[in-house]
């Protein structure tokens, strides 16, 4: 029996999960989604956006989006990136 292969890239399953450290200006590693470990506000920017947005996420909530930046100022949730 062969081991099945799964698509990679944006259409495929996650290949890594990592803690997000919000930063004032630096981009985050590529990710398909973010998960709130503890609830709170998240100030983020998506791949094709020109502005930051603030979302309130509950603990355990997953946001499926191509997030490029998570800002330190205003972010109170603790997060993991899913890439």
Higher pLDDT, 6 or 35: 35
How far from chain centre, in Å, is Cα 17? 9
pLDDT at 36 over 80: yes
Quote the pLDDT of residue 6. Answer: 67
pTM: 0.87
- pLDDT bracket for residue 65 (50, 70, 90): very high
The residue with tokens 């920017």 is 45
The residue with tokens 């503890």 is 38
Q: Is-contact 31 66, C-beta < 8 A?
A: yes
Give me the numbers of helices (H) and strands (E) for the chain, helices first please.
Answer: 0, 7
């Amino acid at each position: 029996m062969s081991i099945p292969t799964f698509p990679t890239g944006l259409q495929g399953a996650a290949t890594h999960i990592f803690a997000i450290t919000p930063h004032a200006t630096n981009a985050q590693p590529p990710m398909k989604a973010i998960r709130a470990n503890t609830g709170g506000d998240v100030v983020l920017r998506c791949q094709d956006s020109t502005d930051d947005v603030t979302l309130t996420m509950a603990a355990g909530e997953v946001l499926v989006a191509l997030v490029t930046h998570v800002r330190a100022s205003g972010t109170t949730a603790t997060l993991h990136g899913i890439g």
